[in-house]
A and B are shown apart, each in its own frame.
Chain A
Amino acid sequence: MKLTGAQILIKTLKAEGVDTIFGYPGGSVLDIYDELYRSDINHILVRHEQGAAHAADGYARTSGKVGVCLVTSGPGATNTVTGIATAYADSIPMVILTGQVPTPFIGSDAFQEADIMGITRPCTKHNFLVRKIEDLSKTIREAFSIARSGRPGPVLVDLPKDVIQAQLEEDKTIAAKPKSEDGGKSPDREALKQALEMIVKSKKPVILTGGGIILGNASEDLQKFVKKVKVPVASTLMGIGGFPGTDPLWLGMTGMHGTYYANMAISNCDLLITLGTRFSDRITGKIANFASKANLIQIDIDAASINKNVLVDIPIESDCKTALVHLNKLLDENGFAIPGEEREKWIDQLGQWKAHAPLSYCNSEKIKPQCVIETLYNLTEGEAIITTEVGQNQMWAAQFYHFDHPNTFLSPGGLGTMGYGLPAAIGAQIAFPEKTVVDIAGDGSIQMNIQELATAVNYKLPVKIVILYNGYLGMLRKWQELFYGKRYSHSYIRNSPDFVKLAEAYGALGLRATRPEEIEPTLKKGLESPLPAVMDFHVEPEENVFPMVKPGTPLVETIINSEELR
């Protein structure tokens, strides 16, 4: 018996354990959709292909599985590019299946043809064009293997229509998993020992976690390690959730909008141990002054990320989990003594910095966005999955929702993508139907993928959307206020729709709050509803995110509040 390319594709996906695909049909993928019609794979029909990519990303970030999306050729494929680039920047494992015009037409400017291979080469971990049916199953297997191995990332597979329609004898079709899937390089034992000696002897150490802690599933091992060595933990945006936000040794986020005490800790420490972070410019501030008093130990799975932006003293190429398991074992085997008194002094000093400038805001007659997030935190008991967009909504969510668990804070950290939050929330809700999933958005960003509200309603996904409505592209407005003489060039977005009516038009619940006392009842009502709910909070329009490190200045010059700017 013979199988078509479409049948081989679905069979291989099943063999990979794929049970959910986010997609949108089109001419070049009709054969695949015809096969899906007969398959038990759960296909989520989005309303825009960018939504499919972000939803697959959200699904991957929460479940740890490879997210899969399927779109047609040409515009279908190009619409996924922002979603792919977002996943690439944050190392999220995804497989993107794109239709393509038949192989004889490739390069002829055929209808709905785009060179998606060329377009996505710089924003995928790898991409494939399947030129013959014999290669199809093997290529799909390789795509999944590449997506999840090493430093994960998105892999695109371009599927010409004639390959999908071709036929092949059944016994030749389904390839086995590639053998070479690497489980991470074994870390250099000597370097680990050396690192441990430094950690144990250090008087003022800090750990800095990045997204690698979460991608590497190393959260528990980190907690064990921290318990033993008593080193405070700061994190990048991407590492949030990797260490409990309620632990006394937690310093919070560092960097441009990091806490004062995390930034002071990094600026004054004598040893910085980094786990799965690439030292982005948003983290380091002025790079010459970054952790300038410290020895640096960098643990990262990606050799190319080591010594890339910051030169380190001990580079260790390893996934975070393997390194931490080794470190914990070394500690258990060898015994150790940390310099108790000096370490106490350091932790005491951090406490003083924290007391000097805790994360805070001033209540007023208007709704404070931070208060909305704090109330959300209390009502959900810190157990919700939170997605964000980019900008103020993202920073306040990172600051005021104290994440205790990995894989619960989904944010487009690297690329900074408006329109990420809602489709990502849909993907997360599909992965965890029983959990509360909330997109914290602004009135600007929510309009970038608002159409996915139809997807949520269609699949009865009770995702919650908190809009921090200030009438501005808030983060830009703030930069214009501080650095561009208050010339608010096109950051004031007039005539937004009535979000309550809009929600209702989609078949979702729409709620609005304009006064502080309405925050809690509005959130309660929205969270309790079985429907997708849009909660429109009209907040203080000119509230700014603090603390803040001006671009090009060192972390030690962290500005605590607006008073300091006057």
Chain B
Amino acid sequence: MGEKDRTLTLLVDNKPDVLARIAGTFSGRGFNIENISANITLNPDITKIIIVTTGDRATVTKIRNQIKKIVDVRNVSYLKTKKSVQREMILAKINFTEDNREKILAAIEEMECRVVNQEADAFIVEATGKKDEIDRILLHFQSLGMEDFTRSGKIAL
């Protein structure tokens, strides 16, 4: 198997420097973090971290073994793409004029995205989806004259 995105799910102790330990292990050993998300779980002592990294299976196994050694890391598992639901989210700012407002709105609707805020000359649009859907939406937004956007790390279950 060749290089591709692979997702690791970590359950870690909710301690102030745990993210630094994990990020440091990646950088110190020359591994790459494509994107990352971290948040609470039902247990307040535990944080769930989802990391997307790239590499072949053997490389990701090495990463996993190194991450497992961090004292504050309780568990590391691969996320099986086929058996999980994976989402990323973007907020995008798209400018409009009187002339193209309706056309842009129609395009947003067609992509099943949501306008969450409307300013005098710009929409803030929210979209969630799988990575490739989000990639596609972003391309489309760019063609509509998107001014700026922010994109979350992957969350998955």
The chain A residues found within 8 Å of chain B, CB to CB, are: 117-118, 121-122, 125-126, 129, 146, 302-304, 306-308
Q: Can you list 14 pairs linking A and B with CB atoms under 8 Å apart?
A: A117-B17, A118-B20, A121-B17, A121-B20, A122-B28, A126-B70, A126-B71, A303-B65, A303-B68, A304-B65, A306-B65, A307-B58, A307-B61, A308-B62
Partner among A121, A302, A304 whose Cβ is within 8 Å of the Cβ of B24: A121
List the 3 shortest-distance A-B pairs measured between CB atoms, nearest first.
Answer: A304-B65, A126-B71, A122-B28
A146 touches B71 (CB 8 A): yes
Complex CA gap A118/B65 in Å reads 22
Q: Which residue of A lies closest to B58 (CB)?
A: A307
A106 CB to nearest B CB, Å = 11
Complex CA gap A308/B71 in Å reads 20
The chain B residues found within 8 Å of chain A, CB to CB, are: 17, 20-21, 24-25, 28, 58, 61-62, 65-66, 68-72
Complex CA gap A434/B108 in Å reads 83
Q: Which residue of B lies closest to A117 (CB)?
A: B17
Task: Chain B residues near A306: list those with CB within 8 A.
Answer: 65
Task: Chain B residues near A122: list those with CB within 8 A.
Answer: 24-25, 28
A304 touches B21 (CB 8 A): no
A125 touches B24 (CB 8 A): no
Complex CA gap A303/B28 in Å reads 18
Complex CA gap A125/B58 in Å reads 24
Complex CA gap A125/B21 in Å reads 11
A71 CB to nearest B CB, Å = 21
Q: Which residue of A lies closest to B64 (CB)?
A: A304
A304 touches B20 (CB 8 A): no
A121 CB to nearest B CB, Å = 5
Partner among B17, B66, B71, B72 whose Cβ is within 8 Å of the Cβ of A304: B66
Task: Chain B residues near A129: list those with CB within 8 A.
Answer: 17
A304 CB to nearest B CB, Å = 4
A490 CB to nearest B CB, Å = 29
Complex CA gap A303/B17 in Å reads 24
Task: Chain A residues near B62: list those with CB within 8 A.
Answer: 304, 307-308
Q: Which of B62, B68, B71 has the largest number of chain A CB atoms within 10 A?
A: B71
Task: Chain B residues near A303: list those with CB within 8 A.
Answer: 65, 68
Task: Chain A residues near B70: list those with CB within 8 A.
Answer: 126
Task: Chain A residues near B17: list those with CB within 8 A.
Answer: 117, 121, 129
Complex CA gap A430/B20 in Å reads 37
B71 touches A125 (CB 8 A): yes
A280 CB to nearest B CB, Å = 15
Q: Which residue of A lies closest to B20 (CB)?
A: A121
Partner among A117, A121, A302 whose Cβ is within 8 Å of the Cβ of B69: A302
Complex CA gap A478/B70 in Å reads 40
B61 CB to nearest A CB, Å = 8
Task: Chain B residues near A126: list those with CB within 8 A.
Answer: 70-72
Complex CA gap A302/B65 in Å reads 9
A125 CB to nearest B CB, Å = 7
B24 CB to nearest A CB, Å = 5
Task: Chain B residues near A118: list those with CB within 8 A.
Answer: 20
B33 CB to nearest A CB, Å = 16
Complex CA gap A306/B72 in Å reads 22
Complex CA gap A122/B26 in Å reads 11
Complex CA gap A114/B90 in Å reads 39
B5 CB to nearest A CB, Å = 22
A507 CB to nearest B CB, Å = 43
Q: Which of A121, A125, A126, A302 has the largest number of chain B CB atoms within 10 A?
A: A121
B68 touches A304 (CB 8 A): yes
A288 CB to nearest B CB, Å = 16
Complex CA gap A125/B25 in Å reads 12
Q: Which residue of A lies closest to B27 (CB)?
A: A122
